[in-house]
Structure 1
């Protein structure tokens, strides 16, 4: 039998899935790690924890192979926008600075105000935001001068892992297009962005196709993973673009909505497209498939906050959802803006903060729980409105991510969008997409369209017209509030940072 392994380097866990060539799942493994946060906006992870998680998860699925089986390849999906600084001798100077880190907010705002930010966005397709390595490098340059001076190499987490396994210095095209440093039209590092950060091209990796293959890993790591030294490792792509492929959302007008720790809505086009209002991103899946969309910070992380802060960790997610169900559509006129850690699309404001709006004496915890679920979906709908302006109407929505295990959450999504929501049978979308890319890299298939045969059937959730009136009334209120709070977001976040500094 022939097999492939897909690995997903996520924000809170690394997952490995063993597939048969027909897409059937044989085994999976997940290894969690901490995302370290503080009120300064720091959001970092341990590169060693993630590297170890790769070794462990691949080991735990590879034990299902016997001596007569053939492991064709291991292929990767990875979180975007991560940054690790290293010395000339490849010693780590930082942990993994993740997409969620907002310490670069000051330099992001300065770049936006200068007008250069919009010009860089138009060439790179990455919105100007603290999530992007572009902004992180400006922060390092200005506030971590000792690290900046020592740093001779910069990698993302996938490049770091491949570097340790194979002694290479590379970055796949998909990840590169999310750095804010890469020109998506001439497919090279952007000269003005490099000049702004003070970097030379030699400090950045060689950009390779997602179909690039590495072989001949270090023996000690092959032993720890339980796979042959000459196993082929395919670079793969970023998790966002791969999510579209993994749920079969690569045709025009077909949107993929993903909600895990964070969330996003994306569609695929045949060429990069930027937004005249700089609200959407454009990242590559490969040179022929470009993913246009918007990411949100606010997803499962916000619901976890509800569990821990509003319910003191005493109720399970299922129990909280049951309470939210009782509150009814619109949560009795209570709105929640889910910007607990700032927000990316559509407002692109790292200073944004969460809030309940409309609270009165009638509201109970079930209304608050319901409004949080609805707030995440209202926010995604705002992103969808921007996306439609750039790419055209959405005629089909495919959903994936941890939220698809909640029928209520999907129903809310369907009702707010007033469209059916399709949930593909396979919930391992990122890992499945990674192995499809591996099959193309190996020449087993000649088109990504084979995903049609691997995703399986979908369950479709139909919108409930009884809820339309409530959501149609609340949606414009939600949107107007989000658009008019910009200055107060800045004021309250500055106050919060001052409090942290004076402790």
Structure 2
């Protein structure tokens, strides 16, 4: 039996899957690392942590592997998007990585619009200038840390830096590059025009490859550190959302994905490179060749639930924490939550807005609050679905993965609130499985990426909308959409009091 490794470099941990040719997860392990948050809105990590923890995880997999390491034919990666890693001429890291959920770059986003023009930016990059993207981070460093910027020789995205440390080769690939605001998405090339307009040398952009391309093998040092064979092929991999789509079989027209991790995503497959959503949702290159996907994002989806648990039920298991939410009626007994803990992205590109509980009274218990948080996350995701539907997309079946697929009550809430059939997969590995599929396809196990994904993914359960609940959620959704407008100014007034 042959095997591949799928490495998912997330925001809070790296997860590694060992997968065989039948698509079975033979082993899995996860290693966590911390966020560095020095100020409100700042979010960084030390890239060395990614390397150390991935090395530990791979070594653990190998130590528990009974076969020959030569049978582990390939390794590929999924990675958190948009993060900025700057390297000097010796490929040494110049500063901590600035992550996707860092919101310090509001000024730089405005600068991009002034230098490039909003219409031209959307024409070239298909996306608006938002704080989470990579280019605003580069401009922030240029403006605030000029001595660091002067030393920069190349920038990399998080998983691309990890792959560089494994292979010694510098590359990016299209699905992750599409989230930088420096890629011409339709032409699949770095935009020299955007680089010139914003004053970023085009030489900072690394060479581009396809997600399934083999970019090398392990260095002897890295093979020695992990126990893997030096002959293990290394494939480029993809952005976490692209890999989540691959790992969920979103590889043809009409397929839609709901992925609830730290952030939440509604993702829909596209074949065209010229659709116009006016920047309301993201428009990225897929990990499948010559394909694209559109995507709406809730910045603090699963993070809202984990935050609430950590603050009010620290040490309690997730299962115990959510126990009883099935007994709480639709609408959480008149309690509503907006998941704006770190700002919001879709449909409100707003780094200042913050979360709210609305309607709390003395009769509410903890389970009401837990269900309200879950409903609030789902309401936010439904705003993306609403945009897709308003633009003519038919969405009647959605594959749900991540934390939102681990609880049956939450899956039913998704079915009722989205008014669509929800499919839970047999394997909920998402981005890590997508990385493994890219490695399996790259290794030549199957003739197409679709064939590999079909083999590796399998539906387990379906959840059908309940008409009575659909009607109630449609009314509640109308109330939910009013909260942003009515709390926007209040949050702006509170900014000066934040740490």
**TM-score of the aligned structures, taking structure 1 as reference length:** 0.93
Structure 1 SS opposite 2:493: helix
Q: What is the match of residue 79 of structure 1?
A: 80
State how far apart, in whole Å, the 2-side matches of 1:351 and 1:410 are.
30
| Cα deviation code 1:427-447 (max 9, x no counterpart) | 112222222222332333221
Deviates more, 1:119-128 or 1:347-356: 119-128
- Aligned CA RMSD, in angstroms, stands at 2.1
Deviates more, 1:374-383 or 1:121-130: 121-130
Q: Please state how far the C-alpha of 1:313 moved relative to its aligned partner.
A: 1.5
Q: What is the match of residue 10 of structure 1?
A: 10
For residues 407-422 of structure 1, the aligned pairs below 5 Å read 407-422=408-423
Q: Do residues 49 (structure 1) and 71 (structure 2) align? A: no
Deviates more, 1:194-203 or 1:20-29: 194-203
Q: Do residues 241 (structure 1) and 242 (structure 2) align? A: yes
Q: What is the match of residue 177 of structure 1?
A: 178
**TM-score of the aligned structures, taking structure 2 as reference length:** 0.94
Q: 1:143 to 1:491 in 2, by over 3 A?
A: farther
| Cα deviation code 1:341-362 (max 9, x no counterpart) | 0111121111121111223343
Q: 1:479 to 1:75 in 2, by over 3 A?
A: same
Aligned residues: 496
Q: What is the match of residue 34 of structure 2?
A: 34
Structure 2 SS opposite 1:37: coil
- Contact 2:235–2:439 (CA under 8 A) maintained in structure 1: yes
Structure 1 SS opposite 2:361: coil
State how far apart, in whole Å, the 1-side matches of 2:275 and 2:358 are.
33
For residues 117-132 of structure 1, the aligned pairs below 5 Å read 117-132=118-133
| Cα deviation code 1:286-319 (max 9, x no counterpart) | 332211111211222111111122x252543223
Structure 2 SS opposite 1:91: coil
Q: Please state how far the C-alpha of 1:48 moved relative to its aligned partner.
A: 0.9
Q: Do residues 472 (structure 1) and 474 (structure 2) align? A: yes
Q: 1:113 to 1:471 in 2, by over 3 A?
A: farther
Q: What is the match of residue 190 of structure 1?
A: 191
Structure 2 SS opposite 1:215: strand
State how far apart, in whole Å, the 2-side matches of 1:227 and 1:68 are.
6
Q: Please state how far the C-alpha of 1:425 moved relative to its aligned partner.
A: 0.3
Structure 1 SS opposite 2:436: helix
Q: Please state how far the C-alpha of 1:484 moved relative to its aligned partner.
A: 5.2
For residues 195-344 of structure 1, the aligned pairs below 5 Å read 195-285=196-286, 286-309=288-311, 311-313=312-314, 315-344=316-345
Structure 2 SS opposite 1:423: strand
Q: Do residues 453 (structure 1) and 451 (structure 2) align? A: no
State how far apart, in whole Å, the 2-side matches of 1:307 and 1:68 are.
40
Structure 2 SS opposite 1:19: strand
Q: Please state how far the C-alpha of 1:162 moved relative to its aligned partner.
A: 2.3
Q: 1:112 to 1:40 in 2, by over 3 A?
A: farther
Gapped runs of 5+ residues in structure 2?
none
State how far apart, in whole Å, the 1-side matches of 2:283 and 2:308 are.
32
State how far apart, in whole Å, the 1-side matches of 2:335 and 2:60 are.
46
Structure 2 SS opposite 1:5: strand
Q: Please state how far the C-alpha of 1:8 moved relative to its aligned partner.
A: 0.9
- Contact 1:249–1:268 (CA under 8 A) maintained in structure 2: yes
Structure 1 SS opposite 2:447: coil
